[in-house]
Every structure is written in C-alpha cells, then in structure tokens.
Amino acid sequence: MPSNNLPDISSLKLSELKRELTLYGIDSSNFFEKSEFTSALKNARDTLPRPSTTYREVGPSEEELRAAEKAKQQQQQQQQHKSSSRSSKRPSTSSSSHNRHHHHTSSSSTPPPPAPAPNPTTTTTTQSNNNKSDLMNKKRLLASRSPVTALQQIREHPSGKLLGERNNSFLPGAPFSFALMGSLQENDAAILRIPDGVCLKINAASVDRKSMENFLLQKGSIGVSLKVSSEENPALLPIWTFDKEKSKSYTVSDLGVEVCGPRTVRLLAFMEMGFRSGASVDLFVFGSVGLDRNKF
C-alpha cells in the first residue's frame, strides 16, 4: 500500500519519476509520454512493496548487471592466473625438496607426490555457468516488475484538443483488459508498450450489444473493426470486424495475438460508417500478461 508521506505523483519531475520507478525495479526505457511514467508509478505504489533505500535492494539495472558480469570475469581471470602460477611452481619445489631429502637421508621413504592442481578449464566453466544463472535470475526479476502500459489519448476533432485519456498498466501475471474508444482517426489508436522479457496475449474482443444497436440506428453505420500495427509494419490492419449484416456474435474469442517485448504496438477501434457523424462505441480487448518463456 502507498505510504502517506510519499510526494504526490503529479508534482514529480520526469527525472524524479524515472528515479522512483528504478527503485521499484521497473524498466521505463520504453516510455515516452509523461503519462506513461505516472501511470506505471501509481501502479507500482499500489501493488509493490515500498523499497527501503536503494535500487540494489529491489533489483539490479541493466548497467549494474553488465558491470557485475565484467567484474566477475576479471576476478575469474585473476584466480585462473594465480592457479596457473601455483601449478608451475609446485613440481620444482617438490623436486628440490625430494633431492635434498634423498641426499641427507638416503634410507628414508620417497615423499608422496604433490596433489594435482585443479583444472582451470573446469573451474572457469563452472563459474561461468553460475554467473549466467545469476544473471538470468536478475533479468527475470527485472522483467517481473516491468508492466505493459496501454495509453489512448482522446481528442476533439478537427481541433485536436486533448479531452482525456485512458491509461492502464499490467504487470506480468495480470489479466489484460482495455476499453478502446472507437474513432475514425488513426492517430487516436492506443499505444501499447511491452518491456523486454514480457509477453502480451490478446485472446478476445467484444462490443456491448446495447451500445452497438444504438450506434447502428444511424444511417450508413456498419459496425466497428479492431486494427493492429507494429514497429515492423506501422499500417493499421484489421484482425476482427463486427458487421451488422455478417457478424453472428458480438464477441470473438480466438484472436490468438501474442507479442513479446521489447515492442510497441498500436490498437484502434475503427468505426465503420457511411456518414462520418463522429458517433462511436467502445471495443473491449481481453488477454493476459506474462514472462517470455523463450527467455526464462
């Protein structure tokens, strides 16, 4: 639960928002709008335990992970060098000791051979595997605290005046549900940012029966289409259309869309109508957020 002595999120500067998100272990490198930072921080304060002092107590950053990996590699090289030095000195010392002992006491038994030196290759391989495992666990922890954010800004047309926004964030393990406000303008699409190591699944979409029936009373109205675009293909392409003449159901449940980060995608509820009256309905999308199984 959020603490009463925390500063109000709306009063924080962008640098302060980034710093506090880092304390929670949340990767904000994919955020661009300030509203995305504030939404993610609000969700973190409401759902995550408050970190006591530093980011290291919550989870390391990518820079810290790389620095730790480099330091461990240097330490391994130093240990390997020391081990090789000891191995090269041991036979000479043992041989000299054996000769002196044989010279003074020829009747004494031969001393036992020196213990074999550890294999540097085996030691290095074991340490490397342990380091990779630690690094993977830290990346998994970082991904588990990085939310998928969905932002749709609602504007007045043709003036472009901002009227409001729909802004949500979803941590791995959470169900995904977002209401898209229908529009005739492609720049009204919602922007979804998916962090590294996180996957978003969109399985179903629906429209409210009563709202759609009222919308279809307008002359020339046809229905609504759910459109998607990606960084690789910025064109908004329809993946489901509710058509008053052809659709038998107000819901589709077999979309099967899965996107893993780091990625940015757009979702648009495009109003299909003959006369552009500006009326619209909400189109609801449903799915889940989880970790990328191919990475962890």
Per domain, the residue ranges of the chain are: 9-59, 62-143, 148-291
Tens place of pLDDT per residue across the chain (296 aa): 444 578 889 889 998 888 888 888 888 888 888 888 888 888 888 878 777 544 434 445 556 667 777 777 777 777 777 767 666 655 544 444 444 444 444 444 566 666 666 666 766 777 777 788 888 899 999 999 999 999 999 998 888 899 999 999 999 999 999 999 999 999 999 999 999 999 999 999 999 999 999 999 888 899 999 999 999 999 999 999 999 999 999 999 999 999 999 999 999 999 988 666 678 899 999 999 999 999 88
Which residue reads 């780091």 in tokens? 262
CA 63/CA 45 separation, integer angstroms: 24
CA 282/CA 242 separation, integer angstroms: 12
pLDDT score at 218: 86
Phi, psi (degrees; rounded to nearest 5) at 12: -80, 145
CA 179/CA 269 separation, integer angstroms: 9
Alpha helix stretches (DSSP H) within the chain: 14-23, 34-47, 62-104, 120-144, 209-216
- Residue among 131, 122, 119, 118 nearest 74 (CA): 131
pTM of the model: 0.63
The CATH number assigned to the domain with range 148-291 reads: 2.60.120.340
Enter the DSSP assignment of 277: -
Measured distance between the N- and C-terminal CA atoms of the chain, rounded to whole angstroms? 29
SS3 195: coil
User: To 5 degrees, how large is the angle CA 207–CA 211–CA 217?
Assistant: 120
Q: Which residues pair with 190 in a beta bridge?
A: 267
CA 219/CA 245 separation, integer angstroms: 14
User: To 5 degrees, how large is the angle CA 90–CA 93–CA 95?
Assistant: 105
